[in-house]
Amino acid sequence: MTKPLRPHPTLTEYHATEADRLAYLGFLFDRTAQYYDQANWLFSFGTGEWYRRRALRRAGLLRGMRMLDLAAGTGLTAAAARSVMGSEADIIALDSSESMLHQAQRKLPIVLIRGQAEALPLADSSVDFISLGYALRHISNLSTAFAEFHRVLRPNGRVLILEIGRPDGHIAHALATAYFGRVIPFVSRWLKPKSDLAVLMRYHWDTIEHCVSPEVILAQLGASGFSEMDCETDLRLFRAYRARKAASADFQ
């Protein structure tokens, strides 16, 4: 059996074993769903929606496509996709957290599915575009998930994976650690002292710190059958991984 490609080692400060990780994440996201949009807007200085729209356009999202938004959370990427596509009719949102999906349902009349990226409940070749927003670090097995992406995409379908990555360079890393690892959890604890929002924000940074490199992610996309893989980086921190499933003619 092939060894799973995990995005980061088991973080025993949060969950004792890898088997406990899914339950822990479900608990954490369910407990913080109602605060997630507010925190995202505050800590991205209101630029999150603009960045998502730009990334979706650059990755090839067009009107008339059928889109699957994985780890959809409260629907932030799906909302950006609606702006690009002009309609929410062809957007499917999938997330493992029932509370997150409930928040998404309040803002968008889209199809909602509770599930995991490693076992997508969709037919083969059924969507044109897959987005995964800031949740690659929460997948249990990248090789299994990427194979599922490839399976459900139609020929010439596109993948966009948005992530925050550990910046290179001592100064850039120190600044990112201070902001994401200390300031954001502190402010979250001050704003929502009775919630687990500060824990979630600290967990986010710890997974960023220990996440596999862009080279590993791109190599696994290629091993899963994708082509035209690339990674665009903004501010040495925000990464947009893109890839394409070959068109039918490419197999001939």
Structure tokens, 45: 């200085």
Q: Please indicate, yes or no, if residue 224 is contained in any of the structural domains.
A: yes
**What percent of the chain has a predicted confidence (pLDDT) above 90?**
87
The total number of structural domains in the chain stands at 1
Each residue of 129-165: pLDDT tens digit?
A: 999 999 999 999 999 999 999 999 999 999 999 999 9
Closest by CA to 128, choosing from 57, 68, 53, is: 68
Each residue of 10-55: pLDDT tens digit?
A: 999 999 888 899 999 999 999 999 999 988 888 888 889 999 999 9
Q: Please indicate, yes or no, if residue 24 is contained in any of the structural domains.
A: no
Each residue of 53-67: pLDDT tens digit?
A: 999 999 999 999 999
Q: Please indicate, yes or no, if residue 129 is contained in any of the structural domains.
A: yes
Return the half-sphere exposure (C-beta side, CA atoms, 13 A cut-off) of residue 24: 18
In degrees, rounded to 5, the angle at the alpha carbon of residue 60 between the alpha carbons of residues 250 and 168 is 100
Q: Please indicate, yes or no, if residue 20 is contained in any of the structural domains.
A: no
* pLDDT of res. 251: 47
Q: Please indicate, yes or no, if residue 204 is contained in any of the structural domains.
A: no
* pLDDT of res. 45: 82
Q: Rounded distance, CA 83 to CA 232, Å?
A: 22
* pLDDT of res. 19: 83
Q: Please indicate, yes or no, if residue 2 is contained in any of the structural domains.
A: no
At residue 244, does pLDDT exceed 90? yes
How would you write 181-194 as a 3-class SS string? HHHHHHHHHHHCCC
Q: Do residues 35 and 195 make contact, with C-beta atoms less than 8 angstroms apart?
A: yes
Bigger pLDDT: 92 vs 191: 92
Helical residues (DSSP H) of 177-232, grouped into ranges: 184-191, 197-210, 214-223
* pLDDT of res. 1: 55
Q: Identify the three-state secondary structure at position 134.
A: coil
Q: Please indicate, yes or no, if residue 173 is contained in any of the structural domains.
A: no
Q: Please indicate, yes or no, if residue 152 is contained in any of the structural domains.
A: yes
> CATH number of the domain that 150 lies in?
3.40.50.150
The residue assigned the tokens 């968008």 is: 108
- In this prediction, residue 252 has a pLDDT band, given cuts at 50, 70 and 90, of very low
* pLDDT of res. 249: 43
**What percent of the chain has a predicted confidence (pLDDT) above 70?**
98
**DSSP assigned state of 4:** P
At residue 9, does pLDDT exceed 60? yes
The model carries a pTM of: 0.95
Each residue of 61-87: pLDDT tens digit?
A: 999 999 999 999 999 999 999 999 999
**Which domain, by its residues, includes 109?**
33-165+211-247
